[in-house]
């Protein structure tokens, strides 16, 4: 037995001694799935320029090839979120499903784009111009049809709508326009599809944003219909905001639809998940695992990555984030929920915190390695990918051939 397998076995034995089910923990880690984004594999940049990487994907096929590498080495990334304007500029191609299937991945969340074209300068569904609102809605409804063709369950919406100056817009009227558009979209979906409504405090709008926080997203989703839920982007919050409380409330209200994983130091996002505040990311997973423990079943949540690295290698950065999420989820599973309930009942604050904190400081990399080996893949995803030589090989093939339309991390 390898050293990491022995360490993993000790962790699992500890779960058993605490009255937990080590097999259930291992199984939960095997069944966790995290979706990676197509736009995370192409060349991107900042507001000031675009930075090229020789190995960056140029076409949707290359993006799927790279995403398949992440799934190959992590074992938990079977689907790829796509961006309609960037990935299907001429409409949906059924051949994409065959290509993805041959690579061992599927098409995931469908993301419309109603923020990049010039007509959306003053908004999309909230635009004063009825013709622009109609154009935006048509594009979103086209994306619903693409989702049906792609056999995708999720339509994921982020809007740059807002205003920069007091008096520029009728905020209440814009709210009504957005509500109307979301209801129409919801009504065109199939019964098994889910509409994810994302929020963001600011940017590109700097005075008011039409979906600025989780409460607004909640209200819009509730108004849209029963298959509309809130999407939480971990980078879309003000400093010091208690994101795990938001998550706990949305779970309790049956309104948490999914996540976009990333991190941020100041504002916005696109840093590797938990690279700045791993304890916060862990606390989010802790709330999810606690709810799953109380309900006795896994929650129906879409876990997705939304990162677009300009400096790190695309695939390596994605493997980092997926691995970190896997490790943090494992830490949350190690919390002794029975002992925690006892500590809470006795109002033993120190004991309760130590149970949560102790699990966070436990090294779960051996456990993830063990789970991967049980899945038939290598324990160390990043090292295995690096040893494959894939990035160097495709870098030579793709270098100097970058000319595809620019992608951008948009949400």
Position 273 pLDDT exceeds 90:
yes
Residues linked to residue 57 through DSSP beta bridges, in sequence order: 42
How far apart are alpha carbons 258 and 40 in whole angstroms?
18
- Write the DSSP symbol of residue 57: B
Q: What is the pLDDT of residues 201-211, one digit of tens each?
A: 999 999 999 99
Q: Count CB neighbours of 28 within 10 A.
A: 17
How far apart are alpha carbons 274 and 136 in whole angstroms?
34
Strand order from edge to edge, sheet including 79-83? 36-37, 79-83, 106-111, 154-157, 194-198, 228-233, 256-261, 302-305
For residues 330 and 367, the answer to whether their CB atoms sit within 8 Å is yes
Q: What is the pLDDT of residues 107-117, one digit of tens each?
A: 999 999 999 99
Domain chopping of the chain, boundaries: 32-334
The mean of the pLDDT values for the chain is 94
Please state the φ and ψ torsions of residue 238, each to the nearest 5 degrees: -70, 160
pTM as predicted: 0.95
User: Which pLDDT does position 402 carry in this prediction?
Assistant: 57
334: left (phi over 0), alpha (psi -120 to 50) or beta: alpha
Pull the structure tokens for residue 317. 């950065």
Q: What is the pLDDT of residues 44-55, one digit of tens each?
A: 877 778 888 999
Q: Count CB neighbours of 155 within 10 A.
A: 27
How far apart are alpha carbons 63 and 79 in whole angstroms?
12
Which CATH code, of 3.20.20.150, 3.30.365.10, 3.90.1150.10, 3.30.70.2190, is assigned to 32-334? 3.20.20.150
DSSP three-state, residue 351: helix
Mean pLDDT in residue range 61-90? 96
For residues 160 and 204, the answer to whether their CB atoms sit within 8 Å is yes
Please state the φ and ψ torsions of residue 342, each to the nearest 5 degrees: -65, -45
How far apart are alpha carbons 235 and 237 in whole angstroms?
6
> What is the sign of the dihedral through the CA atoms of 9, 12, 14 and 19?
negative
Confidence grade of residue 263 (pLDDT, cut at 50, 70, 90): very high
């Amino acid at each position: 037995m390898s050293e990491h397998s022995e360490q993993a076995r000790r962790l699992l034995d500890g779960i058993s001694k605490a009255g937990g089910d080590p097999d259930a923990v291992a199984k939960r880690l095997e069944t966790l799935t995290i979706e990676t984004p197509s736009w995370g594999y192409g060349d991107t940049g900042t507001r000031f320029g675009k930075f090229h990487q020789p190995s960056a994907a140029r076409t949707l096929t290359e993006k799927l090839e790279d995403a398949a590498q992440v799934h190959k080495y992590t074992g938990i990334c079977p689907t790829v979120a796509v961006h309609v304007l960037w990935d299907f500029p001429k409409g949906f191609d059924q051949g994409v499903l065959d290509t993805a299937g041959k690579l061992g991945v599927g098409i995931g969340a469908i993301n419309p784009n109603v923020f990049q074209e010039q007509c959306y300068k003053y908004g999309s569904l909230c635009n004063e111009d009825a013709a622009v609102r109609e154009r935006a809605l048509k594009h979103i409804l086209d994306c619903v049809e693409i989702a049906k063709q792609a056999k995708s369950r999720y339509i994921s919406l982020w809007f740059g709508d807002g205003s920069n100056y007091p008096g520029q817009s009728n905020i209440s009227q814009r709210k009504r326009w957005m509500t109307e558009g979301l209801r129409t979209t919801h009504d065109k979906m199939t019964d098994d599809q889910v509409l994810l409504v994302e929020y963001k405090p600011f940017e590109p709008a700097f005075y008011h944003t039409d979906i600025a926080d989780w409460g607004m997203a909640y209200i819009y989703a509730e108004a849209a219909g029963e298959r509309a839920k809130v999407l939480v982007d971990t980078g879309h919050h003000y400093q010091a905001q208690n994101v795990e409380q938001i998550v706990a409330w949305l779970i309790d209200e049956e309104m948490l639809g999914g996540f976009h994983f990333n991190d941020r130091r100041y504002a916005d996002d696109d840093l590797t998940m938990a690279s700045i505040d791993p304890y916060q990311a862990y606390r989010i997973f802790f709330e999810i695992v606690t709810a799953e423990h109380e309900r006795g079943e896994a929650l129906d949540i879409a876990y997705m990555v939304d990162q677009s690295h300009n400096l790190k290698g695309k695939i390596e950065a994605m493997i980092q984030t997926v691995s970190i999420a896997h490790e943090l989820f494992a830490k949350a599973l190690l919390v002794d929920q029975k002992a925690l309930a006892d500590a809470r009942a006795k109002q033993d604050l120190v004991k309760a915190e130590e149970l949560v904190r102790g699990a966070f400081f436990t090294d779960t990399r051996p456990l993830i390695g063990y789970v991967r080996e049980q899945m038939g893949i290598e324990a160390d995803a990043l090292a295995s990918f690096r040893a494959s030589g894939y990035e160097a090989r495709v870098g030579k093939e793709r270098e100097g051939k970058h000319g595809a339309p620019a992608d951008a991390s948009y949400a």
